Structure 1
């Protein structure tokens, strides 16, 4: 399961690979272009090579500090089982040793992220990732020191599966406000689905049983943490409700079906994919956003529950509206390329402003916050791309970042209209 992190680091790695792959297909500037700027002219967005998103995800649940302290303590206890320094005398195989050390370092980084992030929910998620990474390292060392086996860890994992199934069976969609309820219940749906449908480690490690045990340790810890976190979110949320609060499952399901039908109609009305030979930034934006919009329809249909379907539909309407914005701007003759460093600073500022403005002006900011958090993460990735450059930089090298900024801008500016459409469906 190494490398499957759902945190921002994991997202950035995936996004980086995706965008890098896209460069060869979509880059409109020849690699030998002489148009260039100097790195000191670009936005000074990060001192350490890592930019923080301006918005992070949050949900309407009171997460107690004691819960975060408990998770941190669990990480520390796992890491304390490792001999430090973990050298060749402990694990002679350098590759295996570095895998365990990398996992321990990743766990520490996730804890540091948790204590500097904007919301307790973001910290809650980061600490869960820290637990999984720390357990990978601890289980690997446990194989050496105590003879921990995959069978031992499979028993622990099965216990988490059994509890997750019970939680899913007993899950009642209680709530009084469908927006707040959808946000909480969607996370519970996704957490439990991740536990119950996660791929099981193969156990066939090319480097022997130690790493196979480490993978099972991570797998078991992730399942245990996700299940416990789901129970905690459910209990905290339902405890905040009036005693007579009923279920809103039918409200969510009906709204999700209305929204899904609207999205299906919008997909039918989409124009054909762009076919121009000039694959400039405008072409890339139109191609990618149209594809995102078309695929969002299936994402709603495949949602794992009514709450997730409502949130996925919100993102789907954002995708369609963002595509329409770009298409209209292209048809009006707007150019999206950058000619100098000032243009890069401008498109970045527009993205940040659009995200903040959308959060402030939305009729229900909490409903669109997940979308804005995603946009903010993409801006952070674009920032980090810029921060890597030194000296003279060809404009062609900046296009990944520019596309990221523009995409974040049009998505953020589309969220308020998407929010109103979803609220209308929920209130009928």
Structure 2
């Protein structure tokens, strides 16, 4: 599937410099001559590696600053339980000590991310990550300092699951605008499903009881935070509605069913899957874009609920339109590759401009934003991959970031039409 929207900080997304380095020395390379560029001339990340994608997700809910302050206070309370410095006398195992210190540092960095977040939803989610990392460190230390047991932390997680079940049973798809309702209820659906799936934490350090307890602490805090955020968004949204607003569940269900049928028809019109063993960049793009279209209907029918299904359908229509756009560009002779630093810079700029333009041109920008935020992360991933290069770089190694930039552009330019179709089906 696609890259998705990572929660870890530090993906690189900054503007680039110019011009291809001179290639006169390449003549000395003999039969293996390859076009090369110099890594330092490629678009580079910010020096601190802390530039975020140009667009974040949002919901039509007025998230209060006081709630963000409360979430931040929870992080502070957890970190305040830690000693001023972890030393060998506190945690003799150096690896374990490093894990706890690293989690505490990550928590602090997530709090900083929240302060500079583009949207309050992004801030809320950064603070959730901060809580989880702080709880990891605090629970690990409590194992040492208070003899906290694994079963005690598991009980905390079970209580959060019970709260999620209660909220899910009370969840009604209230709303007067199906687009706004879909955006809010999809967030609730996703958060609750992640909790109710009740997967155990990915404990890989069973030889360390301390880390096992720490991971359960992080797992419990994640569940608690997702339930709390879902309840807040749901209550805040419903309180903004008029009395007796009714529900949009039937509208969302019908729209998802109609859109899934459309996506199945589009799947039937797909060309055969590529069979070449050695893909060039165009072949890779064709395969990846086609694959997204092929699975788009299933993502609608297998979504967590009707609201998530509508958002998945918006995503799927974007994929289908992007694939059509790709085929047209190939027919026009587009190769999508880079032969110079200028090509990389231009392709990256085009992707960023496409994201901004699509947001402003979509009939409902709020519905466009989730897909465009994903495209923004695709650009960030490409930027991050450019940041790994050093010295002289064979231009063929630029295919991966160029594919990501092209994908972001193709999808972004397809968003307004996809949103228009979904809005028409919703009647909104």
Residue correspondence of structure 1 range 315-334 to structure 2 within 5 A: 315-334=315-334
Query: Do the aligned partners of 2:161 and 2:198 also contact (CA within 8 Å) in 1?
Result: no
Give the structure-1-normalised TM-score. Answer: 0.91
| Partner in structure 1 of residue 160 of structure 2 | 160
- Residue 11 of structure 1, CA deviation: 10
Give the structure-2-normalised TM-score. Answer: 0.91
Further displaced range: 280-289 or 194-203: 194-203
- Residue 377 of structure 1, CA deviation: 1.1
SS at match of 2:246: coil
| Partner in structure 1 of residue 231 of structure 2 | 231
| Partner in structure 1 of residue 312 of structure 2 | 312
- Residue 348 of structure 1, CA deviation: 0.3
Using a 3 Å threshold, how does the CA distance of structure 1 residues 33 and 324 change in structure 2: closer, same or farther?
farther
Output the CA distance in 1 between the equivalents of 2:9 and 2:305.
25
Using a 3 Å threshold, how does the CA distance of structure 1 residues 45 and 6 change in structure 2: closer, same or farther?
closer
- Residue 79 of structure 1, CA deviation: 1.1
Using a 3 Å threshold, how does the CA distance of structure 1 residues 206 and 160 change in structure 2: closer, same or farther?
closer
Query: Do the aligned partners of 2:11 and 2:51 also contact (CA within 8 Å) in 1?
Result: no
- Residue 204 of structure 1, CA deviation: 7.4
SS at match of 2:8: helix
Query: Do the aligned partners of 1:300 and 1:313 also contact (CA within 8 Å) in 2?
Result: yes
Using a 3 Å threshold, how does the CA distance of structure 1 residues 409 and 35 change in structure 2: closer, same or farther?
same
Deviations 1:178-222 (A, max 9, x none): 000000000000111011103113767433211111011111111
Output the CA distance in 1 between the equivalents of 2:327 and 2:202.
46
Output the CA distance in 2 between the equivalents of 1:174 and 1:316.
25
Output the CA distance in 1 between the equivalents of 2:300 and 2:133.
31
Output the CA distance in 2 between the equivalents of 1:426 and 1:11.
37
Deviations 1:111-147 (A, max 9, x none): 1111111000000011101111110111011000001
- Residue 49 of structure 1, CA deviation: 3.0
Further displaced range: 308-317 or 43-52: 43-52
Residue correspondence of structure 1 range 20-419 to structure 2 within 5 A: 34-201=34-201, 205-276=205-276, 279-419=279-419
Gaps of 5+ in 2: 13-31
SS at match of 1:359: helix
Using a 3 Å threshold, how does the CA distance of structure 1 residues 246 and 200 change in structure 2: closer, same or farther?
same
Using a 3 Å threshold, how does the CA distance of structure 1 residues 317 and 202 change in structure 2: closer, same or farther?
closer
Q: How many residues align?
A: 406
SS at match of 1:9: coil
Question: In angstroms, what is the RMSD of aligned CA positions?
Answer: 1.9
| Partner in structure 2 of residue 9 of structure 1 | 8
SS at match of 2:85: coil
Further displaced range: 91-100 or 43-52: 43-52
Further displaced range: 201-210 or 341-350: 201-210
Query: Do the aligned partners of 2:10 and 2:49 also contact (CA within 8 Å) in 1?
Result: no
